Amino acid sequence: MIGRIVKSGLAIGTLLLGVQAVAAETKIKFALDWIPGSVHAPFMIAQQKGYYKAEGLDVQIDPGKGSGEVVRQLASGLYDMGYPDINILMEFVAKNPDQGFPVVMSGYEQAPAAIFTLKSSGITEPKQLAGKKLGSAAHDSTFKLFPAFAQLNGLDPNSVQVQYIEPNLREVLLTRRDVDAIPGQFFNSYIMLKSKGVKEDEISYFMYNEHGLALYGNSIAVSRKFLKENPDAVRGFLRATVKGVRDMVRDPEEGVKAALAYQPLLNADVERERLNLALKCCIATENVLKDGYGVVDMDRLRKDIDVIAKAYNLPRAPGVEEIYNPSFLPSQQDRLVR
């Protein structure tokens, strides 16, 4: 009888420990900036290979509808963490200081912002956009930075004719020569133009970071409430994500496979090319390979904030500490991805 009681007690104890282990797993709702693709592979790799789980995290990764929406979702508490463009976050924090929250890790060390033209247009430098027609969605993040890009390159932004269009029509209208130029993320617009039948040697572009506007891009941000209540979970998320980045950088094909596992309808060849372009321009840059993934240079960020404040005509320039909190980053050694 006593033996049965002891065994029952052990069984109950084991069951309770199991329940406690499950309960201890912190749930994280994570919002991507856009439709999932190979550029989001670090998060998918970390989830599929159990890196998040090993940190005691249960991560839900959801598609996004643009950086502006991600920022609103984080501010409202609908999501715990997300992947917005840091420049869009700056705008929100400047206007809503009481609702602001920071990024804790950089994703795109160089923003993929670019202006695209066709070589047949004869436009070989930004100054030649004067008098030309630029087609863009009104709230496109790359377009909102266009005045700063123009001024840095001796172009009066008011000399450019702006035609406001739906985002999904940009590449179509440029292909048809209905507009002379469009703004867009480098690795997305380049592939879209090719898909519309434009040959590679006909595509021309001006990367912002090669023309005086070296901004950071998408970054991992955390809602104010979640950051306060779950600091260890945030640290664990970043550690696991860096492992996903490292796997992707060392073997990009692993990133493509992870994206396809998350979204089987993706085209493997398209995602392979997209990731290759993104790694070169924005993710595995010289700075990242040297200094490690995810860190933000404070002096550079301070200059970026001033640029954004002027370009977006913000009511104030937020302090760097409002935009970036580096205290949750893994050590430099643990952030190396080569």
* pLDDT, tens digit, 9 for 90 and up, residues 36-47: 999 999 999 999
The number of distinct structural domains making up the chain is 2
* 228 and 104 assigned to the same domain: yes
| pTM for the full predicted model | 0.89
Residue bearing the bigger pLDDT, 16 or 275: 275
292-334 confidence digits (pLDDT tens): 999 999 999 999 999 999 888 999 999 999 999 999 999 999 9
pLDDT of 138 reads 87
Distance (Å) of CA 28 to CA 45, 56, 72, 316? 16, 11, 17, 32
Whether residue 259 contacts residue 37, with contact meaning beta carbons closer than 8 Å, is answered with yes
pLDDT at 2 over 70: no
Among 210, 243, 266, give the residue marking a domain's end: 210
* 227 and 288 assigned to the same domain: yes
Residue with token string 């950071």: 216
pLDDT of 6 reads 44
- The Cα angle at residue 36 between residues 31 and 38, in degrees rounded to 5: 125
Judge residue 327's burial from the number of C-beta atoms within 10 Å of its C-beta, 0-12 exposed, 13-18 middle, 19 or more buried: exposed
Instruction: Please count the other Cβ atoms lying within 10 Å of the Cβ belonging to residue 302.
Output: 13
pLDDT at 17 over 50: no
Query: What distance in Å separates the CA atoms of residue 84 and residue 218, rounded to the nearest whole number?
Result: 5
pLDDT of 4 reads 52
Written in H, E and C, the secondary structure of the chain is CHHHHHHHHHHHHHHHHHHHHHHHCEEEEEECCCCCCHHHHHHHHHHHCCHHHHCCEEEEEECCCCHHHHHHHHHHCCCCEECCEHHHHHHHHHHCHHHCCCEEEECCCCCCEEEEEEHHHCCCCHHHHCCCEEEECCCCHHHHCHHHHHHHCCCCHHHCEEEECCHHHHHHHHHCCCCCEEEEEHHHHHHHHHHCCCCHHHEEEEEHHHCCCCCCCEEEEECHHHHHHCHHHHHHHHHHHHHHHHHHHHCHHHHHHHHHHHCCCCCHHHHHHHHHHHHHHHHCCHHHHHHCCCCCCHHHHHHHHHHHHHHCCCCCCCCHHHHECHHHCCCHHHHCCC
Computed over every residue of the chain, the mean pLDDT equals 93
Q: Where residue 23 falls among pLDDT bands split at 50, 70, 90?
A: low
pLDDT of 269 reads 97
Distance (Å) of CA 232 to CA 6, 25, 46, 321, 327? 37, 12, 17, 20, 11
Judge whether 12 lies within some domain. no
33-49 b/e with 16+ CB inside 10 Å = b?
A: bbebbbbbbbbbbbbbb
Residue bearing the bigger pLDDT, 296 or 19: 296
Whole-number percent of the chain with pLDDT over 70: 93
* 235 and 173 assigned to the same domain: no
* 152 and 288 assigned to the same domain: no
pLDDT at 21 over 80: no
- By residue range, what is the domain housing residue 258? 25-110+216-335
* 202 and 238 assigned to the same domain: no
Judge whether 192 lies within some domain. yes
Query: What distance in Å separates the CA atoms of residue 20 and residue 22, rounded to the nearest whole number?
Result: 5
Judge whether 50 lies within some domain. yes
152-204 confidence digits (pLDDT tens): 999 999 999 999 999 889 999 999 999 999 999 999 999 999 999 999 999 99
pLDDT at 244 over 80: yes
* 82 and 134 assigned to the same domain: no
**CATH number for the domain harbouring residue 154:** 3.40.190.10
Determine which of 63-72, 198-207, 260-269 has the lowest per-residue pLDDT on average: 63-72
Q: Where residue 94 falls among pLDDT bands split at 50, 70, 90?
A: very high
* 283 and 248 assigned to the same domain: yes
Judge whether 320 lies within some domain. yes
* 152 and 259 assigned to the same domain: no
* 261 and 137 assigned to the same domain: no
Q: What is the mean pLDDT of residues 275-304?
A: 97
Query: What distance in Å separates the CA atoms of residue 289 and residue 294, rounded to the nearest whole number?
Result: 11
* 182 and 238 assigned to the same domain: no
* 156 and 183 assigned to the same domain: yes
